[in-house]
Amino acid sequence: MKYISIYFYNLKAYLIASMSYRMDFFIGLISSLIEQIVYLIFLNVLFANIKEIAGFNYGQMLFIYGMATIGRSVHLIFFDNLWMFGSRYIRKGEFERLLIMPINPLFQLICERVQLQGFGTTLMGAIATYQSYHLLGLHWNIFHLLLFVFICICIGLLYATIQLGPTALAFWIVESFPITMGIFSLNQMAQYPIKIYPTFIQLILIFVFPYAFTSFFPALYFLNLGWIGLLLPLVLLVIFTINYALFKYGMKKFSSVGN
């Protein structure tokens, strides 16, 4: 209850501050929508020239995209501040402020920023999923719908937990953004059937940086093509345990940069 009230307090403070720069919000929202629209156009152009990719048709690829986009929006909305960890909290010395607060430093880091533009990404993902649902003639009951929502939330959390690992490297190298972004870009590969990639790449996407569980594998379950996506909560727990342990170890080794 304590952490919930603290989160909503930080959320309120951030929203009040954001309203002072409304134009920035709308520009960010439009940019987010344009990015998703461009990908949908690319997908339509691609399937106008080919019938399928590794056995997956347009409707199935659209479903994979929609599910991944909704999950990505959860990460974008609630965990966007992780990107600022090295440049703002380590380099500028703000992490010391988090250390003296009577709450978990990682929790405070996460709840100090909410990316409202991510709701536009949620909308685009929901539209794509709805369209693919009808194209594929899927029939869900309330259980499937609730499971879909749960899996999308887990996808967003998995994005964040994978990102936490390279983000924690800022304790040693200060600016971890380039490494984090390089690893994060792998998620785009998981929006396609992973069997189109060499075995080495598949192993990376499944076992090292398991982005295959942020879109492809979970989508297979709802497309009645496999059950491995149901392992997502377990994968999430394992990756969080490993990367949070790295983050806590980094805190023990942390020394101020002098600002």
Domain membership of residue 258 (yes or no) is no
Domain membership of residue 18 (yes or no) is yes
The whole-angstrom separation of Cα 104 and Cα 102 is: 7
Domain membership of residue 34 (yes or no) is yes
The whole-angstrom separation of Cα 220 and Cα 242 is: 26
Question: What is the Cα 214 distance to its own chain's centre?
Answer: 8
- Whether 93 and 82 have beta carbons less than 8 Å apart is answered as no
> For residue 23, how many other CB atoms are within 10 A of its CB?
7
The whole-angstrom separation of Cα 163 and Cα 259 is: 26
Domain count, the chain: 1
Domain membership of residue 259 (yes or no) is no
Q: Could you tell me the pTM of the whole model?
A: 0.89
Q: Could you tell me what percent of the chain has a pLDDT over 70?
A: 87
User: What confidence tens digit (pLDDT) does each residue in 181-223 have?
Assistant: 999 999 988 888 888 899 999 999 999 999 999 989 999 999 9
The pLDDT of residue 24:
65
Helix (H, G, I), strand (E, B) or coil at 224: coil
Q: What are the angstrom distances between the C-alpha of 84 and each of 50, 58, 72, 89, 162? A: 41, 37, 18, 7, 16
Q: What are the angstrom distances between the C-alpha of 33 and each of 28, 57, 63? A: 9, 24, 18
Domain membership of residue 22 (yes or no) is yes
Residue of 209, 76, 71 whose CA lies nearest to 151: 71
The whole-angstrom separation of Cα 139 and Cα 131 is: 13
Over its C-alpha atoms, the chain yields an Rg (Å, rounded) of: 19
The pLDDT of residue 48:
67
- Residue 141 phi, psi (nearest 5): -100, -175
Domain membership of residue 215 (yes or no) is yes
Domain membership of residue 133 (yes or no) is yes
Residue-range definition of the domain harbouring residue 121: 1-253
Q: Could you tell me what percent of the chain has a pLDDT over 90?
A: 49
- The larger pLDDT score, comparing residue 158 to residue 57, is at 158
Domain membership of residue 212 (yes or no) is yes
Q: What are the angstrom distances between the C-alpha of 229 and each of 146, 155, 209? A: 15, 10, 15
User: What confidence tens digit (pLDDT) does each residue in 100-153 have?
Assistant: 888 899 998 998 888 877 888 888 889 889 989 998 999 999 999 999 999 999
